[in-house]
Chain A
Amino acid sequence: MTTIRFVHDIGDLVSDLETIAGQVRPRAAALVARKVNHGREVARGIAREASGPHGTNYYKRITSEMTGDLQGEIGPTGEVEGRAVGAGWRHGENTDMARTADIIGPSLAADAGDMAADLFWPGT
């Protein structure tokens, strides 16, 4: 009678997980930093496109910074934060940052998924 014998060993998986555990944080931090920078440029582009003649240079106030290993901020900064071009209701609400989040949010989620997949199956 032919016998097939299976030998099960999770050593490789344990080894992979130990390696991955050490890679996740730096790779995730790099991803967040890249997305924060990308988001700043997206926000600046939207602000340039949306601003009127009085806000021509408003986009320059949109900056970004990492506020932690895995988090960052994008938005207008400076002494006149929120009032860089005066405060009025006639031009409606500024949705530059909301529009930026619409673009960067799904992009970050997709890239985080790709990063996780690459940790388990590199190069695929």
Chain B
Amino acid sequence: MTPLLDARPVAKAVLAVVSIAIATSEDPTQLAYDRSQVPGTGRNDGDLPTLFAQVDVERRFDESANRDDGTSGSTSWRVIVGGVGLTWREASWVLAEATAALEDVWHTTDDGHQFNCRFETYRAPDDQDDGRYYGAVTFTCAT
């Protein structure tokens, strides 16, 4: 399989999984967003969601690129899931749900690359300059 050198397929898979994990029927905006596509930020239309996850995926320098099944991938990625909410509790909930959905579960990109997310760091939510709470959990994975 051709090595994956583009973060977007990984991000798309992560966004789908986290969105499902935090979605509710009461608030259709309670989803996971690519950081550049959060409604109400930058030039994006819409109002800022009350509670949401924002996802970043960046390529990682990792010569081994190991997976949990003992195989080695060709490219490593760092997956960063930020939890944003009006309270500490809300932001923590997002991080907990995202972690449960991502960690130790195998995911597949649209073009068939499989990966599993391994926990790397956790930053507990704290209040930000705009009064919202933000925390982040990061994972690493290899495709």
Q: Select B61's contact among A86, A90, A103, beta carbons within 8 Å.
A: A103
What per-residue 1/0 map shows which CB atoms of B121-140 lie under 8 Å from chain A?
10100111110101010100
A78-124 with Cβ < 8 A to chain B: 86-90, 92-93, 95, 98-99, 102-103, 106
Given contacts A99-B61, A103-B61, are A92 and B128 in contact (CB under 8 A)?
A: no
Count of residues in B whose CB is under 8 Å from the partner chain: 26
CB contact under 8 A between A92 and B129, given known A98-B138, A103-B61: no
Task: Give how many A residues have a beta carbon under 8 Å from the other chain's beta carbons.
Answer: 13
CB-based contact A106/B129 at 8 Å: no
**Chain B 50-78, CB within 8 Å of chain A: the 1/0 string?**
00001010101111000000000000001
What residues on B are CB-neighbors of A92 within 8 Å? 35, 54, 56, 80, 82, 136
B interface, by DSSP: helix, strand, loop or mixed?
Answer: strand
Question: Closest chain A residue to B42 by CB distance?
Answer: A90
If A98-B138, A102-B60, A102-B61 touch, does A93 touch B123 (CB 8 Å cutoff)? yes
In the complex, which residues 59-94 of chain A have their Cβ closer than 8 Å to any Cβ of chain B?
A: 86-90, 92-93
**A-B interface pairs (CB < 8 A), number:** 46
Return the CB mask of B77-121 against A: 1 if under 8 Å, else 0: 010101010000000000000000000000000000000000011
B29 nearest CB across to chain A (Å):
16
Residues of A within 8 A of B123 (CB): 93
Asked if B41 is an interface residue, CB under 8 A from chain A, the answer is yes
Q: Which A residues touch B54, using CB under 8 A?
A: 89, 92
| Given contact pairs A92-B56, A92-B82, A93-B136, A98 touches B128 in the complex (Cβ within 8 A) | no
CB distance from B8 to the nearest CB of A (A): 16
Per-residue CB contact flags for chain A residues 32-73 toward chain B (1 = under 8 Å, else 0) read 000000000000000000000000000000000000000000
Measured between beta carbons, the chain B residues less than 8 angstroms from A102 are: 60-62
Residue on B nearest A102 in the bound complex, by CB = B61
> Is the pair B80, A93 in contact by a Cβ cutoff of 8 Å?
yes
Expressed in whole angstroms, the Cα–Cα distance for A89 and B33 within the complex equals 13
Shortest distance from the beta carbon of A52 to any chain B beta carbon, whole Å: 13
B82 touches A89 (CB 8 A): yes
Check if A98 sits within 8 Å of B61, measured CB to CB.
Answer: no
A95–B130 contact, CB under 8 A?
no
B81 to chain A, nearest CB (A): 9
The contact sample of 10 A-B pairs, CB cut-off 8 A, is A87-B126, A88-B130, A92-B82, A93-B56, A93-B82, A93-B123, A95-B78, A98-B120, A99-B61, A106-B63
